């Protein structure tokens, strides 16, 4: 696991965007695993800027997002499909038919999960997976558990995750309590993983991810076993890490 120390959120965003753009430039038909939330927004803005300058092109890229709220349709402003469209896809030349998000509107849990797993597998898994990390060490919506998850699953969100996501909703009661999420094993099949983290509230999670025991109680800790994982984090997020 490689650690890259950055100055602040903007610096993190540029460095993450650099890694993603290098992947796409070297392999124009890259399969990208993408994340939502506030952490990657700056990186997406930087990639959009470079696209408009002609520095990077997404015409042949395909994408697979980590997760989606169960019960929301893709046109719901709080859905992750809507987030990806408005924050990234609408502003570059990517073919929307090649962008994939779990179908939150599908009430059939088994079918929704198995179909998404098949899509990711048929794509050969992702070349580069972008991750954030939750305050409790979750990646995607894989919450602390007794075992690491395998394929896509429907999860009950923890109160800490619901609280963290409530800032994006007008009413905290509107935050969905369940989500479809790509499993840990699927994430680990990515050929490269990039974890982005900023802020003191992520410090314990980053420490446990990098230096703690590998345990499903901190899902991100399994990334220690990945052969090509890069963590891009600022001083605050690295404040509890020894020697950092």
Single out the catalytic residue among 68, 103, 138, 207.
138
Give burial (CB, 10 Å; 0-12/13-18/19+) of 76.
middle
Annotated active-site residue 143? The verdict is yes
Choosing from 136, 207, 226, 234, the catalytic residue is 136
Q: Which of 103, 117, 127, 143 is catalytic?
A: 143
CB contact at 8 A, 91 and 82: no
Q: Is 138 a catalytic residue?
A: yes
Query: Residues for the chain: how many in total?
Result: 244
Active site residue 136: yes
The question of whether 146 is a catalytic residue gets the answer no
DSSP 71-133: T--TTSTTSHHHHHHHHTGGGS---GGGEE---TT---HHHHHHHHHHHHHHTTS-SEEEE--
> Mind telling me the catalytic residues?
67, 136, 138, 143
């Amino acid at each position: 696991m490689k650690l890259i120390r950055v100055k602040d959120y903007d610096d993190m965003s540029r460095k993450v965007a650099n890694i993603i753009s290098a992947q796409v430039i070297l392999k124009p038909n890259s399969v990208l695993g993408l994340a939502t939330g506030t952490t990657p927004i700056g990186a997406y803005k930087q990639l959009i800027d470079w696209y408009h300058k002609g520095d990077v092109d997404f015409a042949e890229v395909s994408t697979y997002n980590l997760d989606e709220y169960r019960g929301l349709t893709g046109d719901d402003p709080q859905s992750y499909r809507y987030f990806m469209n408005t924050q990234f896809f609408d502003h570059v030349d990517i073919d929307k038919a090649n962008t994939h998000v779990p179908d939150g509107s599908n009430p059939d849990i088994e079918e929704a999960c198995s179909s998404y797993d098949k899509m990711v597998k048929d794509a050969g898994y992702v070349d580069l997976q972008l991750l954030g990390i939750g305050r409790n060490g979750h990646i995607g919506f894989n919450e602390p558990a007794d075992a690491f998850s395998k394929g896509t699953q429907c999860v009950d969100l923890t109160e800490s995750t619901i609280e963290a996501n409530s800032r994006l909703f007008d009413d905290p009661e509107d935050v969905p309590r369940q989500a479809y999420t790509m499993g840990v094993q699927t994430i680990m099949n990515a050929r490269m993983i990039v974890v982005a983290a900023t802020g003191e509230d992520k410090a314990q999670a980053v420490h446990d991810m990098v230096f703690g025991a590998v345990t499903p109680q901190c899902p991100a800790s399994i990334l220690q076993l990945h052969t090509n994982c890069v963590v891009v984090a600022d001083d605050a997020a690295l404040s509890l890490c020894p020697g950092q």
